[in-house]
A and B are shown apart, each in its own frame.
Chain A
Amino acid sequence: DTEVTQTPKHLVMGMTNKKSLKCEQHMGHRAMYWYKQKAKKPPELMFVYSYEKLSINESVPSRFSPECPNSSLLNLHLHALQPEDSALYLCASSQDYRQGQDEQYFGPGTRLTVT
């Protein structure tokens, strides 16, 4: 199974809401990633988890809170977001983020709209 799944597919939330995005992979990958992508722009790295520990945080605002409950699951908790946070949120996984020859497998993304 080479699939990364993400739920929900679409999410509309108000600026005072709290919601979570979920990501799952069963490829035995030890690295998992969150990316944010705006229209006509490349994916922008937010967080990297390696062996369930946060390894990279790209100075993301604290209203985004990642969590890796186990090696197959990755969550992104959202709180007090701004309209400019509306974007496609992509989850990805790979064998090991420190190995440049490892391809990343991306999920289909969650389309987030903040009203």
Chain B
Amino acid sequence: SQKIEQNSEALNIQEGKTATLTCNYTNYSPAYLQWYRQDPGRGPVFLLLIRENEKEKRKERLKVTFDTTLKQSLFHITASQPADSATYLCALWTYNQGGKLIFGQGTELSVKP
């Protein structure tokens, strides 16, 4: 069956450390993988996109890697801040899913001062 799995437990880290979030998928062949941030009671906000033929993408303190052999994406936030506390969602886009973005269940990140 098709699955997208993110860190099931909430992630608690100290301010200034690097947060690493995992997105694993099964029985999908994503052409694109997107990461979104969602604050409680708000809509998701797009952060980064990576294509199937890209290994790594960076934007300021954010870095995404994509390994199609391992079927995994890692999302890193360096020099984390309490303001980074939120739920982070990975989302796959595949041609054979009819153009739909399929979301993982999200990982809740808490950065303590």
Contacts and interface: CB of A to CB of B under 8 A. Distances in A.
Interface residues of B, number: 24
Interface string A37-70: 0001111010010000001100000000000000
A103 B49 contact: yes
A111 B41 contact: yes
Given A42-B89, A100-B93, A101-B32, A92 B43 contact: yes
Q: Bin chain A's interface residue count.
A: 20 to 34
Main SS of the interface on chain A?
Answer: loop
Contact of A90 (B43, B94, B98, B100): B43
Contacts of A100: 30-32, 93-95, 99, 101
Contacts of A86: none
Given A41-B105, A42-B103, A109-B41, 4 more contacts: A43-B103, A100-B30, A100-B99, A103-B46
Interface of B: 30-32, 34, 41-46, 49, 51, 89, 93-95, 98-101, 103-106
16 contacts: A42-B104, A42-B105, A42-B106, A43-B89, A48-B99, A56-B98, A56-B100, A97-B99, A100-B32, A100-B99, A101-B49, A103-B34, A104-B101, A106-B45, A109-B41, A109-B43
